[in-house]
Copies of this chain bind each other. A is one copy, B any other.
Amino acid sequence: MQSTYTIGELAREFSISLRTLRFYEDKGLIRPQRQGVNRIYGHRERHRLRLILLGKQVGFSLDQIAEMLEFYDLKDGRSSQLRLVLSRFHQHLEVLRRQRTAIDTAIDELARTIIVIEDMLRARAEHDTAAVEGVLEAAE
């Protein structure tokens, strides 16, 4: 177990780019030390990075993540703050559920369109050009 990491090591470990690490630093999400001009990341930065990527995975914006990390920092852990985070998570869960139904309808729509095109190709194979037009109109 190392206690410090270079930017390249963290990038490899989490499969992200160096640019991404630097970008998160620009945004104030992580604050690595410096050894000369080079960045040095400690346990704290690594842990924060893990939380950031977890937040991203569940669809939070970097600004939202930054805000929650602040809460996490004031580790006094006021229950009121926890409750605030909790209600945001509940809200976000709703957003995710809506996104899922949106994707579901997109999938259905695309699948139906594929069937329409396949029908067109079949109609063509039967040398019935007029039928092709019919299918096209029906797809409207």
Chain A residues within 8 Å of B, Cβ to Cβ: 54, 57-59, 77, 79, 82-83, 85-86, 89-90, 92-93, 96-97, 99-100, 103-107, 109-111, 113-114, 117-118, 120-121, 124, 132
Contact = CB atoms under 8 A, between A and B. Distances in A.
A82 B121 contact: yes
Nearest to A72: B136
B106 A57 contact: yes
Contacts of A111: 93
A117 B72 CA distance: 12
A104 B100 contact: yes
Number of copies: 2
B86 A117 contact: yes
Given A100-B103, A103-B96, A124-B79, A58 B110 contact: yes
Main secondary structure, interface of A, reads helix
A77 B121 CA distance: 10
**Residue picked from A92, A96, A124, most chain B C-beta under 10 Å:** A96
B121 A79 contact: yes
Contact of A97 (B100, B107, B118, B132): B107
